[in-house]
Each structure stands twice: as C-alpha cells, then as structure tokens.
Amino acid sequence: MIFDNNSIQMVFARKSQFRETFSRAHASRAGNLAAFNLTHGFRARPPGATANAIRITASIKVSLSPGETFKDWANWTINFVQICEIVQQKLHYSGMRKTDGQIVMSANVPPALPHAIHLDSSPGTAPFVSNEVAKFDQATSRITAIMGDHPMSWFPIGEINRESNKINWLIQAQDFRRFSTVFTAREPGGKFHYLAHINWELFYGGRVTHISGYQPRFDAAISTRLTDKPFKLGKPTASKLQTLLGNPGPP
C-alpha cells in the first residue's frame, strides 16, 4: 500500500459545534460519586458515556503497490492509536469539623499511579481506540477513519480520614490530561506506520459545597478547557512518548 502523505486530512470536532446545548461542561452527583464529564451522552448511574462528546476524522489517499490487489488491503488496519498523559489529578477532602482533618490526594504520581503516560485503549480494541473499520472510497482512492471519545472522571464524595477516623468530604477536584491521537496504518505483519497526529488537552476543575444532611452541591463555577492543536504529519515527536509508540501496549 502506498500512502500519499500530502493528501492527509485530520479534523478534531466537538459536539458543541453541532449542538450548542452541549457546549458546557457538567458535573453530576451519581450516588456517592462526583463525576466530571462533557455533558453530551453522559450517563449518571453508573457513571459512563452513552455517546461521544468529541469526534476525530482522518483520511488519506492510497494506491496499490506493484503486484498488490484491493484484496491485499483487507489485512491492513487503518485506525487510531491514542496516548494519554495524566498531568494532574488532585483531590481535596475536608471534615465537617476542624478535628476531623483533611486529605489531599495527588492521584497522578506513584505509588497511586505508576505510569502517568499510558495507551488509551481497552483489552478488546488494543492497541487501537476502537474496532471501527475504516472505509475506502474507490472513486477517490481515499481511506477514511473516524473515532469518538468522551473522557470523564469520577471520585468518591467521601473518604475516611485514617488519622481521625472521620469522614472527610470532597471539596475540590482537578483533572488535567493531555492526549496524542495518531492516525495509524498497521501492516499484516504488525509494523506500524504513524501517518499524522493531533495533540489535545482536557482540564476539569470544580469545587463542591455540602449543605444540611451532607448532600453535596456542585458550584456553578466549574472550569473546563478542551483545546486542540492543528494536526501534524507523522508521529508525535515528544521523547516521553517514543517508547510507547515503539511498542503500543499496556505498561
């Protein structure tokens, strides 16, 4: 398979571009959990997603190598390899009384999180984001792949303080992640060709207040930033990603 790298197109799209009502971030109390999410397709119980909040589309023109037929392409995989770096995940809990104490967790550092950089996949789709099959348009000789995502996080509303043996309640949470989504072709023999990539970031931050009966209430000032950069040809160049790109798999 011969790739025309000059023909690559790669687009990052938010659902807010299609439905304005989904443009704001949302925090929801789901049982005893605080959940940060991007609203669109969020399921509260149990926390999860029923629809993607972002979509990435990539395409490239291809042609046959000497001696190849279209049937040979069936053994190639055109998909996305996505790497996630958890930059910060900080939780602050406090007791209702001063003597109940406080807990501050930095969940993005060892030993809580041994590997801050990891392959963003699942056992059923690894090393790719999903099992979506790329489509080939014979009229234009273009292969197109599409993926969706809805990064979210949820935390316990309360934690037991081991020093005071009292419940401390969540009062603030921050979750900052960086993603590299790589448009990828894998040969039948397993060799990876990283065609292009997009880097994007997601930040969640919010405060929680607790009213009578210890029922949590999310403040209106929930901060969310979802930013993306223009796509670049080839694989990401950051040195900290190279080991994982060389062998995309679990740590």
What is the tens place of the pLDDT at every residue in 122-178? 888 999 998 888 998 889 999 999 999 988 888 888 889 999 999 898 888 899 999
Between residues 222 and 194, the one the model is more confident about: 194
Q: Are 44 and 37 in contact (CB under 8 A)?
A: no
Separation of alpha carbons 80 and 100, rounded Å: 47
Distances 102 to 36, 130, 171, 172 between C-alpha atoms, Å: 22, 40, 10, 12
- Nearest CA among 188, 189, 178, 191 for reference residue 236: 178
| The pLDDT of residue 56 | 95
Q: Which residues contact 207 (CB under 8 A, 6 or more apart)?
A: 171, 172, 218, 219, 221
Span 42-97, pLDDT tens digits:
776 666 777 788 899 999 999 888 888 777 777 899 999 999 999 999 999 998 89
The DSSP call for residue 219 is: -
Q: Beta 135-137 vs 102-106: how paired, if at all?
A: unpaired
Residues 6+ apart with CB under 8 A from 241: 83, 117, 180
Burial of 19 (0-12, 13-18, 19+ CB in 10 A): exposed
What is the pLDDT confidence band of residue 215, given thresholds at 50, 70 and 90? Answer: low
Pairing of strands 166-186, 192-211: antiparallel
Q: How far is CA 188 from the centre of its chain?
A: 27
Residues facing residue 215 across a β-bridge: 211
Distance CA 174, CA 142 (A): 41
Q: What is the mean pLDDT of residues 9-33?
A: 55
Q: CB under 8 Å to 69, separation ≥6 — which residues?
A: none
| Predicted pLDDT of residue 66 | 85
Joined together, the tokens standing for residue 145 give 């792949």
Across the range 173-187, mean pLDDT stands at 94
